[in-house]
Amino acid sequence: MAKFKIFNTDVGKRVTVKKPAGVGFKGSLFSVASSDFKTTEKNFEAMDEALQHALAAALYDEAVKIMNKSQKLVPVDTGELKRSARVSAPKTLKRPESNLGYNTVYALRQHEEHSSKSKYLERPMLASQRGLQRRLNTGIKKHIKAKTKVGDLSDKEYG
């Protein structure tokens, strides 16, 4: 068992303990001032907030990709249904969410009952589950580098 002996150390200085003769052990000890912890805590808080903004932006990106795929599947007669598509951007970090949908009086009925193009939003959403974690990780990294904020995002309308 190795023992550390430290003499005359100053706060903030690195102390290296050399191995005693015949013992195969070497260690280093660091002393830290309480002000260092406050700085570290502020840095962690800033990183946490940046991560939250990046996650919200990555979720929004994913919702836009799903809607883009849905736009290829939505039935078109007059084009009103297709133009009513909307993806809302996250508004807060407490609950980062993006809503996507179509807004016509017949959108739900078309989604559920159309003879050949029903489930035009559900199918892309279910298909997006595969690989979602990987895409979110990539998006988070992208938005952290870009320093994206929730306030930078805006709703996307397709009409």
**What pLDDT score was predicted for residue 39?**
75
Tell me whether residue 22 is in a domain.
Answer: no
- Domain enclosing residue 119, as ranges: 34-157
Residue 14 has pLDDT above 60, yes or no: no
| Tokens matching residue 93 | 């970090």
In a domain? residue 4: no
Is residue 126 one of the residues assigned to a domain?
Answer: yes
Indicate the range of 33-47, 102-116, 118-132 predicted with least confidence: 33-47
pLDDT at 13 over 60: no
Please give the structure tokens belonging to residue 11.
Answer: 């706060």
In a domain, 20, yes or no: no
Poorest-confidence range of 7-16, 52-61, 89-98, 102-111? 7-16
Residue 34 or 85, more confident: 85
In a domain, 143, yes or no: yes
Question: Is 109 within the bounds of a domain?
Answer: yes
Does residue 24 lie within any of the structural domains? no
Q: Which of 16-20, 44-48, 114-118, 137-141 has the lowest mean pLDDT?
A: 16-20
Query: For residue 100, what are the β-bridge partners?
Result: 87
pLDDT per residue over 22-77, tens digit each?
444 444 444 445 566 677 777 777 788 999 999 999 999 999 999 999 999 999 99
In the chain, the number of structural domains is: 1
Average pLDDT over residues 88-96: 91
The tokens describing 57, both together, are: 């932006």
User: Is-contact 58 128, C-beta < 8 A?
Assistant: no
What span, in angstroms and rounded, lies between the C-alpha atoms of 152 and 89?
9
pLDDT more than 90, % of the chain: 60
Single pTM value for the model: 0.73
Is 56 part of a structural domain of the chain? Answer: yes
Q: Are 77 and 38 in contact (CB under 8 A)?
A: no
The average confidence (pLDDT) of the chain is 81
